[in-house]
Structure 1
């Protein structure tokens, strides 16, 4: 099995025991991603649209580092603190995926690790698909 783990270098990865993303064969799985920089700064505080855009840029970057591209994404999973903000989150998601049209799920959750996180997104990409 050919496996490649991608780390963003955050302390959470070491303490929890996970990778930012993992590629096995032609599949890339991206861990739940929130709107923080690698140094821990929140991006888009109180703004679910800006948080979603930043998260999707981070996901795109991880996929590209593992040899994929955004067009390879077949599924996203979106966890949100307030489902009433679905339209803002969806608008940002559409900016990235409006033509790709992956499967997606948006679920409201009661809490996230930090109160400032409004959105968390996971993604699956399959490379070289027809």
Structure 2
């Protein structure tokens, strides 16, 4: 996915949403995110899009500039979320760099 920071932010957050839903959770259950942004000067634009996805009770967040991200993307997000109804600790993996045309959730 290449485009504006807003386009890439939406793509990344849509992927996060799809991965969480496939695992039986949602953006409402995100506890913490780490945002890696290629250019910190784009943070305000990113933050506008972020606010469209996390409206109330926003998760804890760390944001930092990462000089080089895979496939020359502009933003990457790492998230920790609660999965309702799970008795065991589960790990859900996904990536916005795996394939630009797929949203690949994996539950382990």
Q: Which residue of 1 aligns with 2:51?
A: 94
Structure with higher strand content = 1
Q: Once the 2 structures are TM-superposed, how far is the Cα of residue 70 of structure 1 from its aligned partner?
A: 1.3
SS state of the match for residue 120, structure 1? strand
> How far apart are residue 79 of structure 1 and its match?
0.2
Where 1:114 maps in the other structure, the secondary structure is helix
* 2:23 and 2:83 in contact (8 A); partners too: no
Report the equivalent of 1:7: none
Cα offset, 1:46, TM superposition: 3.7
Equivalent residue of 2:71, what SS? coil
Q: Distance in 1 between matches of 2:23 and 2:40?
A: 32
Q: CA RMSD in A?
A: 1.5
Residue 106 (structure 1) shift: 0.8
Deviation at 1:92, TM superposition (A): 0.9
Pair 1:110-2:67 in alignment: yes
**Which structure has the greater CA radius of gyration?**
1
What CA deviation, in whole Å up to 9, does each residue of 1:22-77 have, x standing for no partner? xxxxxxxxxxxxxxxxxxxx2xx241111111111110110010111111001111
Aligned pair count reads 85
User: Which 4+ stretches in 1 moved above 2 angstroms?
Assistant: none
- 2:29 equivalent to 1:72: yes
Question: Unaligned regions of 5+ residues in structure 1, if any?
Answer: 1-41
Segments of structure 2 that go 5 or more residues without pairing to the other structure are 85-108
In the alignment, what sits opposite 2:78?
122
Within a 5 Å distance, the mapping from 1:1-130 to structure 2 comes to: 42=1, 45-115=2-72, 117-128=73-84
TM-score by length of 2: 0.73
